[in-house]
Amino acid sequence: MPKRPRPKKTATHQPREVSYIVDMEAGEHRYVFLEGVGECRAHFQKLVEDLERGVVDVVVVAKASLLYVDTSPMWMEKFIATVKRRGVLIADTRTQQEYDLRKREDETAFRALKPDVS
């Protein structure tokens, strides 16, 4: 009797989420510096590395503008480019806003969150 082909398993993709938490209290924080990219908090660098490896589908943050805290412009560009390339969503829990930076209007709205440092 011939063997029956095994049915293919259907993979149910569960989004992999990561929370990004920013300590706004004054004090010492751990920073990293990368030549040509600048300085950022160490856990922001880890977040970008996880995004580049493709282990994250959604970045959850209390307030999306907190991603800009202590982050050099080049690190933010690296973050934005990686999020766009990987199709990662950014979820702002305070405003219930979800940003898909592949959409021009979402990218524009996200970039507008950058604090004005004058």
Q: What is the pLDDT of residues 65-99, one digit of tens each?
A: 999 988 899 999 999 999 999 999 999 999 999 99
Tell me if the pTM is above 0.85: no
Distances (CA, A) of 72 to 32, 38, 76, 96, 112: 11, 6, 6, 26, 16
Return the higher-pLDDT residue of 54 and 6. Answer: 54
* 58 φ, ψ (degrees, to nearest 5): -140, 130
As a whole number, mean pLDDT of residues 2-18 equals 60
In this prediction, what percent of the chain has a pLDDT beyond 70?
A: 79
Domain borders along the chain are 31-111
Long-range contacts of 103-111 (CB under 8 A, 24+ apart): 107/80, 110/64, 110/80, 111/80
DSSP summary character for residue 59: E
Crossing angle of helices 42-53 and 73-86, in 10° steps, is: 30
